[in-house]
Amino acid sequence: MARTLQDLFGIDTPIVLGPFGGLSSIALTAAVSDAGGLGSYGLYGYSADRISDTLAALHSATSHPFAVNLWLPTGDEVTPGEVDLGPAIDAVRPLFDELGMQAPSPPIEFLPDVDSQLTAVLDAAPAALSVVFGVPSGRIVAAAHSRGVRIIGTATTVAEAVVLAAAGVDAIVATGAEAGGHRVSFLGPAEDSLVGTFSLVPQVVDAVDVPVIAAGGIADRRGVAAAFALGASGVQVGSAFLRTRQSAATDAHRRALAQSTDTATVLTRAMSGRLARGIPNRAMRVIESSGIMAPFPAQNWLTGQFRAEAGRRGEGELVSLWAGQSAGLATRDEAADVFAELAAGLPAG
């Protein structure tokens, strides 16, 4: 078994780009991979054809290893036929009105079939497939390994890490409660799985025999040094890279990150129906004040209708401003500069 991330993924530096659902870009993924780390790209909601096109573009953009990320089904996802979207649509109607948009009609499906997504990923054979919200089946692990694709699991508790290791994943991201974006818990409610990075990482390291990647609250060399002192084999960083011009974040999102403080983020289900950490804005406040939101993925699809248009217009008050608690440490505009700062915290040798 590989003892380092460098051996496992064929990279030079154990720095992993956080995979952003909806905010990933070819440019940022390639920049991190070209710098010697493991660039990552989030494929949430992508059809099989779009996945094939995206991985072809990634292979063209970089000759170095990269990872892609998929969300595993938890079994509680609702379909259009199982949910009445009327109340949730009424709750966000003022946001559609603000953009001059009509409230949408329900789609045929909220999410593409995960098996078709997995087939498209494995056919394109990236260096690694990272998964969130669950444990990959033995079939998935075997199929990936037969194509030379490593599997990265994601845990928010020690118990989740143990289950992932037993399933045969090659590495585990231990993601603390400080991290931005969705809380990817799967053994228990996300609200009951809010373990901080400083507590989570060493306990996961002690509990499993695969490399552990620390995530949550790491934005500069100090966080990297702390993660390795806790026993991590690498770090995964989100907000610091999201701030850079190479990401797909809007300028409004970058400004919000630049103005963030330690207390600037909150946990909410308003934007997607699942618990996630971000910076409050008008969209979040309107939904939370209504007390009405559809279950996942219906809520995510619904808010996605106005978020996409708001993003095109640069309306930061109407998009998801995902950010971690250390976003205030994200001060660099270039991915190469972020990478160099993080690398400066790695152990000597």
At residue 3 the predicted structure's pLDDT band, cuts being 50, 70 and 90, is confident
∠ CA 81-87-91, nearest 5°, is: 130
Closest CA to 269 of 251, 252, 253, 288: 288
Q: What is the pLDDT of residues 282-341, one digit of tens each?
A: 999 999 999 999 999 999 999 999 999 999 999 999 999 999 999 999 999 999 999 999
What Cα–Cα distance (Å) separates residue 91 from each residue in 94, 128, 330, 342? Answer: 8, 40, 34, 42
Q: Is the pLDDT of residue 12 over 70?
A: yes
Average pLDDT for the chain:
97
What is the arithmetic mean of pLDDT over 25-33? 98
Q: What is the pLDDT of residues 103-122, one digit of tens each?
A: 899 899 999 999 999 999 99
Q: Is the pLDDT of residue 175 over 90?
A: yes
Q: What is the pLDDT of residues 58-108, one digit of tens each?
A: 999 999 999 999 999 999 999 999 999 999 999 999 999 999 999 899 899
d(C-alpha 311, C-alpha 321), whole Å: 11
d(C-alpha 242, C-alpha 248), whole Å: 8
**Contact assessment for residue 28 and residue 241, using Cβ atoms and an 8 Å cutoff:** yes
Q: Is 289 exposed, middle or buried (CB count within 10 Å of its CB: 0-12, 13-18, 19+)?
A: exposed
What is the arithmetic mean of pLDDT over 3-32? 96
Q: Quote the radius of gyration of the chain (alpha carbons, Å).
A: 19
At residue 219 the predicted structure's pLDDT band, cuts being 50, 70 and 90, is very high
CA dihedral of 93, 99, 101, 106, whole degrees rounded to 10: -50
pTM of the model: 0.97
d(C-alpha 92, C-alpha 98), whole Å: 10
**Contact assessment for residue 332 and residue 220, using Cβ atoms and an 8 Å cutoff:** no
At residue 1 the predicted structure's pLDDT band, cuts being 50, 70 and 90, is very low
What Cα–Cα distance (Å) separates residue 152 from each residue in 73, 84, 167, 323, 340? Answer: 16, 36, 11, 22, 24
Q: Is the pLDDT of residue 2 over 60?
A: no
What is the arithmetic mean of pLDDT over 238-244? 98
Query: Can you give the pLDDT at residue 311?
Result: 94
Domains of the chain, with CATH numbers?
Answer: 5-343 (3.20.20.70)
**Contact assessment for residue 180 and residue 324, using Cβ atoms and an 8 Å cutoff:** yes
